[in-house]
Amino acid sequence: MSTQPMTAPTSHERFLRVAIALQTLTIFFQAVSAGLLLTAHYGETLHSVGARVMYGAAMLYVLAAVLAWKPGGASPRQIWYATGFLALASAQVVLGIKHVSEVHVPLGVTMFALSVLALAFRWVGTTKSSPSGGTSRPKAGGV
Protein backbone atom coordinates (compact mmCIF):
# COMPACT_ATOMS: atom_id res chain seq x y z
CA MET A 1 0.00 0.00 0.00
CA SER A 2 1.57 3.26 -1.08
CA THR A 3 0.93 6.49 0.68
CA GLN A 4 0.92 9.78 -1.11
CA PRO A 5 2.27 12.95 0.45
CA MET A 6 -0.20 15.49 1.75
CA THR A 7 -0.26 18.63 -0.35
CA ALA A 8 -0.89 22.06 1.08
CA PRO A 9 -4.10 23.64 -0.18
CA THR A 10 -3.76 26.59 -2.51
CA SER A 11 -4.97 30.02 -1.49
CA HIS A 12 -8.02 29.56 -3.72
CA GLU A 13 -8.78 26.23 -2.05
CA ARG A 14 -8.44 27.80 1.40
CA PHE A 15 -10.79 30.62 0.38
CA LEU A 16 -13.30 28.04 -0.87
CA ARG A 17 -13.08 26.11 2.40
CA VAL A 18 -13.53 29.28 4.45
CA ALA A 19 -16.54 30.31 2.34
CA ILE A 20 -18.23 26.92 2.82
CA ALA A 21 -17.42 26.95 6.55
CA LEU A 22 -18.88 30.45 6.90
CA GLN A 23 -22.00 29.37 5.04
CA THR A 24 -22.39 26.32 7.29
CA LEU A 25 -21.97 28.41 10.44
CA THR A 26 -24.49 31.01 9.30
CA ILE A 27 -27.06 28.31 8.56
CA PHE A 28 -26.48 26.83 12.01
CA PHE A 29 -26.97 30.32 13.47
CA GLN A 30 -30.25 30.52 11.57
CA ALA A 31 -31.42 27.34 13.28
CA VAL A 32 -30.55 28.80 16.68
CA SER A 33 -32.24 32.12 15.91
CA ALA A 34 -35.32 30.27 14.64
CA GLY A 35 -35.60 28.67 18.05
CA LEU A 36 -35.27 32.11 19.62
CA LEU A 37 -38.21 33.27 17.49
CA LEU A 38 -40.37 31.13 19.73
CA THR A 39 -38.89 32.16 23.06
CA ALA A 40 -37.40 35.67 22.93
CA HIS A 41 -38.60 39.05 21.75
CA TYR A 42 -35.32 39.66 19.89
CA GLY A 43 -35.47 36.34 18.00
CA GLU A 44 -37.13 37.84 14.95
CA THR A 45 -34.44 40.50 14.62
CA LEU A 46 -31.63 37.95 14.94
CA HIS A 47 -33.26 35.65 12.38
CA SER A 48 -33.79 38.52 9.95
CA VAL A 49 -30.19 39.74 10.22
CA GLY A 50 -28.93 36.15 10.05
CA ALA A 51 -30.87 35.59 6.83
CA ARG A 52 -29.05 38.46 5.18
CA VAL A 53 -25.67 37.22 6.41
CA MET A 54 -26.47 33.65 5.26
CA TYR A 55 -27.44 34.91 1.82
CA GLY A 56 -24.21 36.89 1.64
CA ALA A 57 -22.27 33.77 2.64
CA ALA A 58 -23.98 31.84 -0.18
CA MET A 59 -22.90 34.55 -2.64
CA LEU A 60 -19.37 34.40 -1.23
CA TYR A 61 -19.39 30.64 -1.84
CA VAL A 62 -20.21 31.28 -5.53
CA LEU A 63 -17.37 33.81 -5.77
CA ALA A 64 -14.93 31.41 -4.08
CA ALA A 65 -15.97 28.59 -6.43
CA VAL A 66 -15.39 30.77 -9.48
CA LEU A 67 -11.98 31.86 -8.19
CA ALA A 68 -11.00 28.29 -7.37
CA TRP A 69 -11.95 27.28 -10.90
CA LYS A 70 -10.71 30.00 -13.22
CA PRO A 71 -7.47 31.27 -11.71
CA GLY A 72 -7.07 28.31 -9.35
CA GLY A 73 -7.46 25.49 -11.86
CA ALA A 74 -10.05 23.52 -9.89
CA SER A 75 -13.03 21.73 -11.37
CA PRO A 76 -15.98 23.91 -12.44
CA ARG A 77 -18.26 21.44 -10.60
CA GLN A 78 -17.98 23.57 -7.44
CA ILE A 79 -19.60 26.47 -9.31
CA TRP A 80 -22.67 24.31 -9.96
CA TYR A 81 -22.84 23.32 -6.29
CA ALA A 82 -22.48 26.92 -5.14
CA THR A 83 -25.01 28.23 -7.66
CA GLY A 84 -27.50 25.53 -6.68
CA PHE A 85 -27.03 26.46 -3.06
CA LEU A 86 -27.61 30.12 -3.85
CA ALA A 87 -30.86 29.12 -5.59
CA LEU A 88 -31.91 27.18 -2.48
CA ALA A 89 -31.03 30.20 -0.32
CA SER A 90 -33.14 32.41 -2.59
CA ALA A 91 -36.10 30.05 -2.25
CA GLN A 92 -35.53 29.95 1.51
CA VAL A 93 -35.67 33.75 1.75
CA VAL A 94 -38.89 33.93 -0.27
CA LEU A 95 -40.50 31.17 1.79
CA GLY A 96 -39.45 32.88 5.01
CA ILE A 97 -40.86 36.25 3.94
CA LYS A 98 -44.15 34.57 2.97
CA HIS A 99 -44.18 32.65 6.30
CA VAL A 100 -44.49 29.24 4.60
CA SER A 101 -42.88 27.46 7.55
CA GLU A 102 -44.03 23.98 6.49
CA VAL A 103 -41.52 24.23 3.60
CA HIS A 104 -39.13 26.83 5.06
CA VAL A 105 -38.09 24.71 8.05
CA PRO A 106 -37.40 21.41 6.22
CA LEU A 107 -35.55 23.30 3.49
CA GLY A 108 -33.39 24.94 6.14
CA VAL A 109 -32.52 21.54 7.62
CA THR A 110 -31.72 20.22 4.14
CA MET A 111 -29.54 23.24 3.39
CA PHE A 112 -27.60 22.71 6.63
CA ALA A 113 -27.02 19.04 5.79
CA LEU A 114 -25.89 19.89 2.25
CA SER A 115 -23.56 22.58 3.50
CA VAL A 116 -21.98 20.23 6.06
CA LEU A 117 -21.52 17.62 3.31
CA ALA A 118 -19.95 20.19 0.96
CA LEU A 119 -17.59 21.26 3.73
CA ALA A 120 -16.65 17.67 4.57
CA PHE A 121 -16.01 16.73 0.94
CA ARG A 122 -14.00 19.89 0.35
CA TRP A 123 -11.93 19.40 3.49
CA VAL A 124 -11.32 15.65 3.23
CA GLY A 125 -11.63 15.13 -0.53
CA THR A 126 -8.72 17.41 -1.42
CA THR A 127 -6.11 16.49 1.17
CA LYS A 128 -4.16 14.09 -1.07
CA SER A 129 -2.92 14.73 -4.56
CA SER A 130 -2.53 12.06 -7.20
CA PRO A 131 0.31 12.15 -9.76
CA SER A 132 -2.12 13.56 -12.34
CA GLY A 133 -2.85 16.54 -10.12
CA GLY A 134 -6.39 15.49 -9.19
CA THR A 135 -7.57 14.35 -5.83
CA SER A 136 -6.94 10.81 -4.73
CA ARG A 137 -9.59 8.59 -3.23
CA PRO A 138 -9.12 5.02 -2.03
CA LYS A 139 -10.15 2.35 -4.51
CA ALA A 140 -12.75 -0.26 -3.64
CA GLY A 141 -11.23 -3.15 -1.74
CA GLY A 142 -8.33 -1.05 -0.48
CA VAL A 143 -6.24 -1.65 -3.61
Q: CA dist 111 to 4, 135, 138, 140, Å?
A: 34, 25, 28, 30
| Residue 143, in any domain of the structure | no
**Number of domains into which the chain is organized:** 1
| pLDDT attached to residue 38 | 87
| Residue 135, in any domain of the structure | no
| pLDDT attached to residue 7 | 66
| Residue 4, in any domain of the structure | no
DSSP state of 76: T
What is the rounded distance in angstroms from the CA atom of residue 16 to the CA atom of residue 115? 12
- Condensed to tens digits (0 to 9), the pLDDT of residues 61-94 reads 999 999 999 887 778 898 999 999 999 999 999 9
| Residue 133, in any domain of the structure | no
What percent of the chain has a predicted confidence (pLDDT) above 70?
81
Which residues form the domain of 66? 11-128
- Condensed to tens digits (0 to 9), the pLDDT of residues 10-57 reads 888 899 999 999 999 999 999 999 999 889 999 999 999 999 999 999
Q: How many CB atoms lie within 10 A of CB 141?
A: 5
Q: Is the per-residue pLDDT at 60 higher than 90?
A: yes
What are the percentages of helix, strand and coil residues in the chain, rounded to 5?
75, 5, 25
The stretches of the chain forming alpha helices (DSSP H) are 11-39, 43-69, 77-97, 101-124
| pLDDT attached to residue 137 | 46
